[in-house]
Structure 1
Amino acid sequence: MTHALIRTLPRRRVLPAGESGSLWRARPSCGIFEFRGMRLQLAVEDPAEVLFPTDCGLSLIAALNGDDAPDLKDVNALDIGAGSGLYSVALLAAGAKRVTALDINPASAAQTVANVVTNGLDATRLICVTSPLEEYTPDGKFDLVITNPPHLPYDPSYARGDGLETALVAREGGRAVYDAVVERMDTLLTPGGILLMAHSSLADMPRTVAQLTGRGYERDTLEIFEMDIPLLAYAEHRDTMLGLLKEQRAAGQAEFDGSRFTVHALMFQRPIDPPGH
């Protein structure tokens, strides 16, 4: 799989504050989204077990509707942190040959399969794996990897540690999964393959870009979305979370203004030849 990255000024979409600016038409357990001319449905049976995708995750879907997005037909794809199957459904609907949905939450697999079936897609092209990314050993490499890592900083006062919470909160200043993705990418992605990532400005995006471009990956920004930090979900611990984020901002590891931050729909292409060859 090859794709020529086009370096143009990225689109910027500002989502109004509050639910009226949501990319979803309905929340929090069922929604309709449009993807490449198709109307697709996503639902979660129990929002206490599987997180219904936030606008942070849906932003990458919106960006992939643009003219600069890669071709998804016939790709062998890995969906890291599959959750309810948002990306797996979209990829299969767009003609992916096979999608592997990887998530640490055991409830993710059943919900992903249910959403694939609900949309009339071929579930035989879906493989669900319950495993931490660090322990996952695939049979081969993928043409495309897609992910929306958790991006909120960890604190024991609000981090429960279950599968639902790990969709939002990560250790190491919200970077634990970002770092794991970067670390594993050469073993997961075929040369010339594409990594698609919804990257929060709260989790030191320049570090991710520097790590991958330093290994020869080309980077493009498909679109930038401005939205609210999801503080309503952590109302009791709002001050604690904002305090951690302000510390990270002071250290140059987070960017936000008040309660607004940005999500960058990033596309990286692995070099066909290692740097220096």
Structure 2
Amino acid sequence: MRKTLSLIGTGLAAALALTACGGSESTPGATPDPANPVTVTVGASPVPHARILEFVDQNLAQEAGIDLEIQEFDDYQTPNIALSDGSLDANYYQHLPWFEDQVATKGYEFEHGEGVHIEPYAAFSSKHKNIEDVPDGGTIAITNDPANQVRGLKMLEEAGLLNGIEEDSAALTLTEEQNPKGLTFEENQPEIILPLVEDPKIDLALINGNFILQAGLSTDDALAVESVENNPYANFLAWRAGEKTEAITVLEELLHSPEVKDYIVETWPNGDVTPAF
């Protein structure tokens, strides 16, 4: 691994900073060769994605003829901006509903591989010890992006707080039948929700799996945890459409290797990260 960067923020400034970093140092379309590895620049969330990539880079990549340059991102927008503008060869952080929403709303021309792992969504509270303790009219902190918001609503339905959640349901437009407890929802960017666990106004905060891990938390302490069975939110490798090079093909294969599966299970034995293959 050549370097790991931490990049925070969204928008044009972040995109320009990434562009200045440049992409791969070797020819992207070169044939992987252990004697002269092809550099693949991959953007990833710090945990678990970058850690999984580091395992691949340190244990599997050289023999397969690739060298991973890993760039870490602390938000969900910049990795796709960087992939689109050519600063990255691929990124590894997103699931299919998010990917499809980004492609539809931003016009990205991307392709993706098969799911590698699932990080279950979870609900945390500093005020309550059980999900049943959330009062009528309680305040729920929830992500503002549609792809992950409905995921949180479905988890609350599984926990018995909501009813009849559909794929197009939105927190701020739930009916009385869907929201019988009259819960109040506060929307925010997913990376900002974690600190709200300690906010005395918040009864429950719904947090994405990678931010749970990044904060050193565990779903063992959550009031509700998303089921991983038949879960459509597996994270995968993505690249620009028509630009799946031999090196990216090799990386896709390594991410689905028995060694990576074993690494995930051994590193997160409680299921905070679960293999999807």
Larger Rg: 2
The structure with the greater share of residues assigned to helix is 2
Structure with greater proportional strand content: 1
Q: TM-score, normalised by structure 1?
A: 0.30
TM-score scaled by structure 2? 0.30
